[in-house]
Chain A
Amino acid sequence: MVKMTGAKALIESLKRQKVEVIFGIPGGAVLPIYDVLYDSDIKHILMRHEQCAAHASDGYARASGRVGVCMATSGPGATNLVTGIANAYMDSSPIVALTGNVPRAFIGKDAFQETDIVGVTTPITKCNFQIKNAKEISKIVNTAFYVASTGRPGPVLIDLPKDTQTEVDDIEFDNGIILRGYKPNIEPHPLQIEKAVKLLVQAEKPVIIAGGGVITSGAPQELLALAELLVAPIATTLMGKGSVPENHPLSLGMLGMHGTITANKIVPEADVLLAVGTRFSDRSTGKVETFCRDAKIIHIDIDAAEVGKNIRPHVPIVADAKLALKAIYDRLIKSFNKNERSLWMNRIQEQKKQQAEMENKDGMTPPHLLVELRKILPQDAIITTEVGQNQMWSALYLKTYKPRTFISSGGLGTMGFGFPASLGAKVACPDVPVLDIAGDGSFIMTEQDLATSVSWNIPVTVIVLNNSVLGMVAQWQRMFYNRRYSAIDLGKIPDFVKLAEAYGAQGVRVGSPEEFIKAVKMAMKSEVTTVIDVPISSEQNVFPMVPPGAEIDKIMIG
């Protein structure tokens, strides 16, 4: 036991959790913590907006698989984190958010910059805590990291009233965690595995859907081993991109509203569907009532509440994806007579060929540019995206080969996520190129953190697919609202080249695919963040598209 302040206890506890970096912005209610940070070896990256601090910690977590940490002061600092926390919650990303609050005696009195951030974040965190005294800080930090990173990962918030930061007490750094109500169930039940095996052995047209859980649990190898053994093609969700190399013959690409034609045609034909680490979101199932109606469904997820929520599986398996996939594999390898499944494989080949013929990629169109871009990127380059058409084009045309290299706001669809997330990813993985594929509307939402990227030497490449409109909204108005364009024209778009330069970053505008590729090559070598402005037509639609509420094989292609 050592005598120290709560603030010191906090930083010590974070160090014991091997925290290397905090993304944050200081303020009155966290001054004691920043005073300790002044001579701590934990790096604090000063962001320009707390939302970006939260997204950067999220990007850091997704790229590295470790817990990301962000910090803000009370009141507006804390509420600015909210979008980032909600985003991390929807996409099961492990972050710990630290907020200051008014001193204990002022809580509940509507003191200056007091917000009930624990109340606000209750439905968007796995759990949250308000510190009652300095003594409990270390235990709560340990608990927060444990909860954030185990089971189905997610955000945890710790709110520290200012006087708990200055209170001096005997601090113990015991690693004990007492959580009577939290026992993440990770071992698959052998009986359920048996049932799954039975279905898979009999399957003639098996299909696997892989979600983000496969990446979280580190199961891509187990997934591929099982898929190859079964000769089962794999479709991924948006969050599952990276769980299987998309150049593998068994990969179907992404499923769902903007899924590939192949995935959306093949998945409904399955007789046995193995869904792993996915929650059957409406964006991936289309009309849920009829989704894979005739298939026997096996659903593996670590979150029991997801199993049976949107789809009722025939075989529910509440378990860690890696352990469950391995258990199925180990059980199958003993008895399974490998079958070439030539009929099923031919069907898939034919579908893929049809898709390739329909894809028309040339000129200054995002599909063409992104396919060309992928050719010059190393396989481990990290892509983040904003939200809208840019995101769906990226998901469709930037093939992903490795886990944790495609980072996108899936569940919340947060415009402005991609750029700060790219900064977090670059901090986590300084040796690989990191690129944010952006829309002009999204980039403007968090572009101020160019200042952070330049000040802290975090060089990333921002590719702005600049269509001068809120493209995805325009697409829906074009397709479903009779071209009654309402509030989608971004009017006077800033000059992104000058904007970048104003921040001390580099800006380039490109007019042809060749110039685009040249600019990206230059940007990836550059020591400073580069914004590439790519003017494109405002009339383009993302296809394929399944209209909202329709069955996923009701694909519109133009």
Chain B
Amino acid sequence: MTREGRTYIVSAIVEHKPGVLYSVSNMFRRRGFNIETITVGASEQKDLARLTVTIKGDERMVEQVVKQLQKLIDVVKVSILDPEYTVTRELALVKISTLDTKVRSDVINYTEIFKGHVVDVAHDSLVVEITGDSDKINAFIELMKPFGLKEIARTGITALSRGMKSARME
């Protein structure tokens, strides 16, 4: 299910404790906002985590998302990242069946072109790690499809604003 509109990246600093992810994701469900991707991990500040959510929608919806997030007591700070001033990255692990040795060398070649790494080698498969923005990962996956793509694991987008502009807690 995708909504009309553009993709927004919402970055939130939240208390790093049990239940916070539940209350955040529950709010999205309850208000009918669709999460495209969500990532969460430690931030630069002790006891605080950074949560990165991408959502599709219009400006009015995103304004509500930000306000509803801010309303949650364990959410300390929320900002919308401007794509022009933001670095975004996603990581994917892609497993490809390589029974055919020709395929194996093709995959390795493509991996180099995409600046990825082969992180696991078995006699009948390879696991490739690929990092970049989502378009790059999509492109790599498309290329791998004819080769016998077995499994994909993607992290979802994480993001930081460029330069000194920050979404830290003041």
Contacting residues, chain A, for B76 (C-beta < 8 A): 180-181
Q: Is A179 an interface residue (CB 8 A)?
A: yes
Specify which of A122, A147, A305, A312 is in contact with B70 (CB 8 Å cutoff): A305
Q: How far is the CA of A120 from the CA of B17 in the complex (A)?
A: 18
Q: Is A309 an interface residue (CB 8 A)?
A: yes
Contacting residues, chain A, for B169 (C-beta < 8 A): 180
Q: Is A127 an interface residue (CB 8 A)?
A: yes
Contacting residues, chain B, for A181 (C-beta < 8 A): 14-15, 72-77
Of the four ranges (under 10, 10 to 19, 20 to 34, 35 or more), the interface on chain A belongs to 10 to 19
Within 8 A of A (CB), among B72-87: 72-77
Q: How far is the CA of A389 from the CA of B68 in the complex (A)?
A: 34
**Minimum Cβ distance to chain A for residue B35 (Å):** 16
Q: Is B115 an interface residue (CB 8 A)?
A: no
Q: Is A123 an interface residue (CB 8 A)?
A: yes
Specify which of B48, B60, B68, B73 is in contact with A305 (CB 8 Å cutoff): B68
Within 8 A of B (CB), among A246-303: 303
Q: Is A182 an interface residue (CB 8 A)?
A: yes
Specify which of B26, B60, B68 is in contact with A122 (CB 8 Å cutoff): B26
Q: Known: A119-B22, A123-B26, A181-B15. Contact between A308 and B60, CB under 8 A?
A: yes
Q: Are B23 and A122 in contact (CB under 8 A)?
A: yes
Contacting residues, chain B, for A304 (C-beta < 8 A): 67, 70-71
Q: What are the interface flags for B41-66 relative to A under an 8 Å C-beta threshold, 1 for contact and 0 otherwise?
A: 00000001000000000001001100
Q: Is A374 an interface residue (CB 8 A)?
A: no
Q: Known: A308-B64, A309-B64. Contact between A127 and B73, CB under 8 A?
A: yes
Specify which of B68, B73, B77 is in contact with A147 (CB 8 Å cutoff): B73
Q: How far is the CA of A308 from the CA of B75 in the complex (A)?
A: 20
Q: How far is the CA of A307 from the CA of B26 in the complex (A)?
A: 21
Q: What are the interface flags for A306-350 relative to B under an 8 Å C-beta threshold, 1 for contact and 0 otherwise?
A: 011100100000000000000000000000000000000000000
Contacting residues, chain A, for B60 (C-beta < 8 A): 308, 312
Q: Is B19 an interface residue (CB 8 A)?
A: yes
Contacting residues, chain B, for A312 (C-beta < 8 A): 60
List the B residue with the shortest CB-CB distance to A118: B19
Contacting residues, chain A, for B22 (C-beta < 8 A): 119, 122
**Minimum Cβ distance to chain B for residue A161 (Å):** 14
**Minimum Cβ distance to chain B for residue A133 (Å):** 14
Q: How far is the CA of A181 from the CA of B12 in the complex (A)?
A: 11
Chain B residues in the interface with A (C-beta under 8 A): 14-15, 19, 22-23, 26-27, 30, 48, 60, 63-64, 67-68, 70-77, 169
- Other A-B pairs beyond A127-B73, A180-B48, A181-B74, 15, CB < 8 Å: A118-B19, A122-B22, A123-B30, A127-B72, A147-B73, A180-B15, A180-B76, A181-B77, A182-B73, A303-B71, A305-B64, A308-B63, A308-B64, A309-B67, A312-B60
**Closest A-B pairs by Cβ, 6 of them:** A305-B67, A127-B73, A181-B76, A180-B76, A182-B73, A304-B67
Question: Can you list 28 A-B pairs with a CB-CB distance of less than 8 A?
Answer: A118-B19, A119-B22, A122-B19, A122-B22, A122-B26, A123-B30, A127-B72, A127-B74, A179-B73, A180-B15, A180-B76, A181-B15, A181-B75, A181-B76, A181-B77, A182-B73, A303-B71, A304-B67, A304-B71, A305-B67, A305-B68, A305-B70, A307-B67, A308-B63, A308-B67, A309-B64, A309-B67, A312-B60
